[in-house]
Amino acid sequence: MKYTSIKLAALIFLLTMLAMPGHANHVKCKCPNIDARGTGDTSCSASETSGVCSIAFNSFDTELELAAKDSLQNHVRWRKIGYREYSPSGQGDVENSFTRENAIRLSKDTDLFIDQILIYSLVSLAERGIVQDQKVGISAAHRLLQKNADAISKIFVFGERTAKGNGLTVKLGCFEFRTDDFWIMYKASWSESVSNERC
């Protein structure tokens, strides 16, 4: 009798879940060498360094984003690191609003856009508290991104093609960078790679 009740409860739960309106995107993220994965309904920041995998799903804590920005500023010695999020209406800064429309708007300033993508990619490292220790990897990623800023921003927001080489992979809504012991990824909720665990 007890077993039947459990089966009935499980069936009711399953039917309830099926009746609920589904989310358009279920973003999957996985580290390359460690069997750690996650699925969320929003964008994700993922990293793997020193044998540890970290995956953070948006909403990203503003403090973590600022820690990633500060680390980028310190490591690359860039004159000015761009950091801004646009509200859906374009009426000022609002957290967690990196829609495709806002990405397109932001991509008109390629330096600002590249910095924003890299900051999002570093959030998972900031969450682990080790973002300041990753100068070599961060500098290499920033250098490669800045060198190819125009092409990368167009691929990321318009998906005209895939960029792959020198440890870099860029597709519509997805960015991935890897060196020997440093891997980071940012995947937007509107990426063409939402069902893939990586770009």
In a domain, 164, yes or no: yes
Q: How many CA atoms lie within 13 A of 11 on its CB side?
A: 6
Q: Look at the chain and report how many structural domains it folds into.
A: 1
Compute how many other C-beta atoms are within 10 angstroms of the C-beta atom of residue 2.
Answer: 6
Residue 127 to residue 77: CA distance in whole angstroms: 22
pLDDT over 70 at 62, yes or no:
yes
Is 8 contained in some domain? Answer: no
1 in any annotated domain: no
Residue-number span of the structural domain to which 138 is assigned:
24-187
Q: What Cα–Cα distance (Å) separates residue 14 from each residue in 8, 18, 19, 130, 170?
A: 10, 6, 9, 40, 37
Query: Average pLDDT for residues 25-50, to the nearest whole number?
Result: 88
pLDDT given for residue 77 in this prediction: 62
Which whole number is the average pLDDT over 102-106? 88
Top-confidence residue, 28 or 26: 28
- Band of residue 154 on the pLDDT scale cut at 50, 70, 90: very high
Is residue 196 a part of any domain in this protein?
no
16 found inside a domain: no
Radius of gyration over alpha carbons of the chain, in Å?
A: 18
- 18 belongs to a structural domain: no
